[in-house]
């Protein structure tokens, strides 16, 4: 078995693979065309963030069985292409948590006390004591956007500094926030009250440019902003304008929209401190993720053991053919529910009915949790760690089984509960393999959860469907499928539209403005 290591990893990881009897080639800095030519000869590849495994490269990986990412982020791997070709994609979630949290704290101290600027002044032979008056962290309010693993570790450390902690994370339950000693607030309240704001979310359509001119104007004058998460979460042009005006007193940036940044006016700005994406760059973290990924690759190639796979559940091979369509159904239902139910989840109740009740349901529950949590946390969730993450986030998971599936031979019913309300969907398999959502709360429907979708609440009145189709057609959006459900004739109804391309914010607002449209949600699978 041959393993290609195309990015720099700790020698300890390389030694684990070699000691297992695997042939290991270390070839760092390959150009895409070089990698495309080489990858066909390897059974496994170990990468970090530099190597880009695009669909065209994966297409050439005829013998590749597994991709191992030494770290958690998988923005550089085309997971759809890998799954299509039967390639297991593994990462090492949690290996960078402490080091990224510590880097955030270092940036927090550095920006509050202007340490890099003062050091540069001293290095230039100056003694500008009055120029670098800082601010204390004690008794200041820290706003954390995203309370996952890293955000939680930052909160714990800042509590020790005597800071007041606010957090925005719509998917953390109130009880979990109380347990952590953190005040959970809405985003606008966080912007109004925080003296320092730190970001710990993945880059998604929802978080892209979440810090922009409009949201900055809601913040305190003299606020400080730290980003050790992902470039693109902050609108860099709007941040620059706010720094120049003094609205933002300082920014500490470890990540940028384009890396490395070229001619970026934020780099070198007197109110900005920058580091070159060092959040995970400690000796300990590099060793941890290298050892972890090497052990995962070794165990998979030699024993078939799958750990921390992001595109494949850990289940016995002889059960896979039966469970696979149910796994797909459960994951799609979880994703659908998560995108629809934007509240702190206290409880997930899964009911397996009919044939589904006779299956080994633990992989299905893990798949449902992966689908539920992926729109929130993205690359850090997989089939293996989803139950643990749900527990960490204070989500109680319940399972029940029943032989009665009503009008269907098999059914999975999913109910989400928050402190205020609940949300229920039911799904089944058509032709024993095609997932369908057949109930949304009390609406009977037949939804195919795939690709780009629109979910509309509307009044059941003449012309609604025509208006939706006309508006989408006018904007070049082709409709693949439409599904409908209603309470009573003329009452509340839902319309679900599968479209062939993404629908932008402008079109969403136009849809909301149509007669008899109550609300519009954008979903993606």
Two structure tokens written together for 86: 């039967």
Q: Which helix (H) or strand (E) holds 321?
A: helix 317-340
CA angle 420, 143, 235 (to 5 degrees): 105
Two structure tokens written together for 92: 């090492």
Confirm if 170 and 196 have CB atoms less than 8 A apart: no
**C-alpha neighbours within 13 Å on the C-beta side of residue 123:** 6
Q: Phi/psi class of residue 86: alpha, beta or left (left: φ > 0; alpha: ψ in -120 to 50)? A: left
What are the C-alpha distances in Å from 214 to residues 188, 219, 486?
11, 9, 38
Helices (H), 451-504: 464-474
Q: Which of 48, 103, 230, 522 is catalytic?
A: 230
Q: Which of 259, 284, 487, 509 is catalytic?
A: 259
Among 435, 431, 415, CA closest to 423: 415
Helices (H), 140-235: 149-160, 174-180, 187-193, 213-217
3-class SS string, 275-325: CCCCCCCCHHHHHHHHHHHHHHHHHHHHHCCCCCECCCCCCCHHHHHHHHH
> 169: helix, coil or strand?
coil
CA pair distance 421, 53, nearest whole angstrom:
42
Chain-centre distance of CA 417, in angstroms?
Answer: 21
259 is catalytic: yes
103 is catalytic: no
393 is catalytic: no
Residues 6+ apart with CB under 8 A from 123: none
> 297: helix, coil or strand?
helix
Q: How many CB atoms lie within 10 A of CB 129?
A: 9
> 372: helix, coil or strand?
helix
Sheet order of strands, 443-447 included? 396-402, 347-354, 410-417, 422-430, 434-440, 443-447
Q: Phi/psi class of residue 277: alpha, beta or left (left: φ > 0; alpha: ψ in -120 to 50)? A: left
Q: Which of 103, 271, 277, 522 is catalytic?
A: 277
Over its C-alpha atoms, the chain yields an Rg (Å, rounded) of: 25
Catalytic residues: 230, 259, 277
């Amino acid at each position: 078995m041959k393993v290609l290591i195309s990015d720099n990893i700790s020698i300890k990881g390389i030694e684990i693979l070699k000691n297992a009897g695997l042939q290991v080639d270390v070839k760092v800095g390959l150009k895409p065309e070089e990698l495309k030519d080489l990858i066909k000869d390897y059974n496994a590849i170990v990468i970090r963030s530099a190597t880009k495994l695009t669909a065209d490269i994966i297409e050439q990986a005829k013998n590749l069985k597994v991709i191992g990412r030494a770290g958690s982020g998988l923005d550089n791997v085309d997971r759809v292409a890998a799954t299509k070709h039967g390639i297991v994609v593994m990462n090492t979630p949690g290996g960078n948590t402490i080091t990224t949290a510590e880097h955030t704290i270092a940036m927090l101290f550095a920006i509050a006390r202007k340490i890099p600027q003062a050091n540069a002044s001293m290095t230039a032979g100056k003694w500008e004591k009055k120029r670098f008056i800082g601010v204390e962290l004690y008794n200041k309010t820290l706003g954390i956007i995203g309370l996952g693993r890293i955000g939680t570790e930052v909160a714990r450390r800042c509590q020790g500094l005597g800071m007041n902690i606010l957090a925005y994370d719509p998917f953390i339950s109130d009880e979990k926030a109380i347990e952590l000693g953190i005040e959970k607030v809405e985003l606008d309240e966080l912007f109004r009250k925080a003296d320092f704001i730190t970001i710990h979310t993945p880059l998604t359509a929802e978080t892209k440019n979440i810090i922009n001119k409009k949201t900055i104007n809601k913040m305190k004058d003299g606020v400080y902003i730290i980003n050790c998460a992902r470039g693109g979460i902050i609108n860099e042009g709007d941040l620059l304008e706010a720094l120049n005006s003094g609205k933002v007193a300082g920014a500490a940036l470890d990540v940028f929209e384009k890396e490395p940044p070229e001619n970026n006016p934020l780099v070198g700005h007197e109110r900005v401190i920058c580091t070159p994406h060092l959040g995970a760059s400690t000796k300990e973290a590099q060793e941890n993720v290298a050892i972890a990924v090497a052990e995962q690759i070794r165990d998979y190639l030699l024993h078939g053991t799958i750990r921390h796979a992001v595109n494949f559940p850990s289940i016995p091979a002889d059960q896979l053919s039966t469970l696979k369509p149910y796994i797909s159904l459960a994951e799609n239902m979880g994703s659908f529910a998560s995108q629809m139910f934007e509240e702190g989840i206290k409880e997930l109740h899964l009911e397996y009915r009919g044939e589904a009740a006779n299956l080994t349901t633990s992989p299905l529950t893990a798949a449902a949790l992966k689908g539920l949590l992926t729109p929130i946390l993205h690359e850090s969730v997989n089939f293996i760690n989803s139950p643990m993450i749900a527990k960490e986030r204070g989500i109680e998971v319940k399972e029940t089984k029943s032989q009665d599936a009503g009008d269907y031979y098999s059914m999975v019913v999913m109910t989400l509960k928050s402190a205020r309300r609940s949300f229920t969907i039911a799904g089944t398999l058509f032709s024993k393999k095609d997932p369908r959502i057949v109930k949304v709360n009390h609406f009977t429907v037949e939804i195919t959860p795939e690709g780009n979708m629109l979910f509309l609440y509307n009044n059941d009145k003449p012309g609604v469907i025509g208006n939706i189709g006309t508006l989408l057609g006018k904007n070049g959006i082709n409709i693949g499928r439409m599904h409908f459900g209603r309470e009573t004739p003329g009452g509340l109804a839902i319309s679900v539209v599968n479209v062939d391309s993404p629908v932008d914010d402008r079109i969403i607002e136009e849809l909301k403005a149509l007669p008899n449209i109550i609300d519009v949600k954008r979903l993606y699978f």
